[in-house]
Amino acid sequence: MKILVTGGTGFIGSHTVVELQKTGHEVVIVDNLSNSSETVLDDICTISGTRPIFYKADIRDKEALRSVFSEHKIEAVIHFAGLKAVGESVQIPLEYYHNNITGTLILCDVMREAGCKTMVFSSSATVYGMNNTVPFKEDMPTSATNPYGRTKLMLEQILSDLTVSDPEWSVVLLRYFNPIGAHPSGLIGENPSGIPNNLFPYIARVAVGMLPCLSVFGNDYDTPDGTGVRDYIHVVDLALGHLKALDFAAAHKGVETVNLGTSRGTSVLELVRAFEKESGVKVNYKIAPRRAGDIASCYADTEKAEKLLGWKAKYGIEDMCRDGWRYMNK
Ligand code: NAD
Ligand code: UFG
């Protein structure tokens, strides 16, 4: 199939493009490069042997999207493009709503004009909010505590409404848990600018000496060692989940919401130890106060992904640390 990947030069997008190309799909990327670099295209080409077609464009630019759809017979869209930093979304909410919501509305409008009504969308486990008990299951009530989370919740609702209004639409809403690691080649991975907000890139930077010490946000949670527990998933597993979701969306109509996680919880200190073991480097850390808005535990119920999509994560924490470390060293 010919697939449009929005945000395809980003962290999860680039890994998904590689897997799409390996499976014989033709890929067209639209990315405004606000959080990625065009050099990723060379790395994708080195890994897969094919350079994806690339448009540097913003998804809010309707005319640019129209010309992409007129130049290519796009059969489905995997929609990653969006802003994703929770803290920043509190500081600049209008930018988040405009980028994520307006951008998706314009994308859907252009898709409809072109008669392309199949989409796989990047949602987030953040929509499970603060009031559910683990493991999180797709039919649990949802809520959000910050503008970023609200854009994901609203977009889930908007895309669901679209499938109700027009039975030709097919949408899979993928709720990612915590994607980490990198491609085993060491060529593509996550490279946040500035000081990382997320645990894994922070650990990696402490390990290489770019940052002095990790602050562990709280050791008094109701978890086995008191530190926060998350469902870390290898970004390659996550990418493979998109291929399964795409197959499903192409063969069905309507909307489905599916968790992409491993169903295994790992604490902050367990991740630190696993990273130390794989890298052979000591990671300095200190215990710090809890971070506002964090929950104790977050991990997925993955039964629906297994049954509906035939997908199950195969990599473990060791693989994620090893591949993330290899990327960091390159
Ligand atoms: P990323 O920032 O690496 O990739 C997103 C890409 O979209 C970037 O290359 C950026 O330049 C591009 N982009 C942003 N706004 C755009 C616009 N208006 N027009 C065109 N391109 C635009 O992020 P990622 O980690 O790969 O995340 C991909 C998607 O998955 C996002 O929607 C994110 O919210 C969601 N998600 C990510 C995580 C995570 O922890 N990484 C967890 C849950 C959900
Ligand atoms: N943590 C630390 N120190 C740090 C950073 C994080 O102790 O410097 C802890 C957090 O308190 C938490 C765990 O590490 O217990 C994971 O934190 P992350 O910031 O890496 O990830 P979150 O689970 O908070 O959130 C991430 C994304 C969200 C997304 C969510 C679910 O940032 O956008 O996963 O997919 F919604």
Residues 88-134: tens digit of each pLDDT: 999 999 999 999 999 999 999 999 999 999 999 999 999 999 999 99
Residue 193 scores a pLDDT above 90: no
267 within ligand 1 shell (Cβ under 6 A): no
Regarding the beta carbon of 8 and ligand 1, being less than 6 Å apart is answered no
The reply to whether ligand 1 has any atom less than 6 angstroms from the CB of 151 is no
- The neighbouring-strand residues paired with 176 are 124, 260
| Residues above pLDDT 90, as percent of the chain | 98
pLDDT value at position 247?
98
pLDDT classification of 159: cutoffs 50, 70, 90: very high
Give the atom of ligand 1 at the shortest distance from the alpha carbon of 59: 19
Measure the CA–CA gap between 181 and 328, rounded to whole angstroms: 10
Contacts of 292 (CB under 8 A, 6+ apart): none
Q: What is the mean pLDDT of the chain?
A: 97
pLDDT higher than threshold 90 for residue 230: yes
327 and 182 Cβ atoms separated by less than 8 Å: yes
Domain 2-181+232-262+302-314 has CATH 3.40.50.720: yes
pLDDT on residue 191 = 85
Which of the ligands is closest to the CA of residue 123?
1
pLDDT at 75: 98
Whether the pLDDT of residue 21 is over 90: the answer is yes
Substitution candidate for ligand 1 out of 38, 122, 150, 190 with most atoms within 8 A of CB: 122
pLDDT at 330 over 90: no
How confident is the model over 59-70, as pLDDT tens digits? 999 999 999 999
Q: Are strands 76-79 and 2-6 parallel, antiparallel or unpaired?
A: parallel
177 alpha carbon, closest ligand: 2
Q: Which of 24, 45, 23, 253 is nearest to 8 (CA)?
A: 45
Our answer on whether the CB atom of 59 is closer than 6 Å to any ligand 1 atom is: yes
Mean of pLDDT values over 84-90: 95
The pLDDT value recorded for residue 192 is: 85
From 178, 260, 290, mutation site for ligand 2 pocket: most ligand atoms within 8 A of C-beta? 178
Q: What is the pLDDT of residue 252?
A: 98
Q: What is the pLDDT of residues 254-310, one digit of tens each?
A: 999 999 999 999 999 999 999 999 999 999 999 999 999 999 999 999 999 999 999
Domains of the chain, by residue range, sit at: 2-181+232-262+302-314
The verdict on the CB of residue 180 being under 6 Å from ligand 1 is no
3-state secondary structure labels for all residues of the chain = CEEEEECCCCHHHHHHHHHHHHCCCEEEEEECCCCCCCCHHHHHHHHHCCCCEEEECCCCCHHHHHHHHHHCCCCEEEECCCCCCHHHHHHCHHHHHHHHHHHHHHHHHHHHHHCCCEEEEEEEHHHHCCCCCCCECCCCCCCCCCHHHHHHHHHHHHHHHHHHHCCCCEEEEEEECEEECCCCCCCCCCCCCCCCCCHHHHHHHHHCCCCCCEEEECCCCCCCCCCCEECEEEHHHHHHHHHHHHHHHHHCCEEEEEEECCCCCEEHHHHHHHHHHHHCCCCCEEEECCCCCCCCEECECCHHHHHHHCCCCCCCHHHHHHHHHHHHHC
Q: Which amino acid is at 328?
A: M
The verdict on the CB of residue 34 being under 6 Å from ligand 1 is: yes
Give the residue-averaged pLDDT of 55-59: 98
Active-site entry in 96, 148, 221, 299: 148
- Whether 148 is a known active-site residue: answer yes
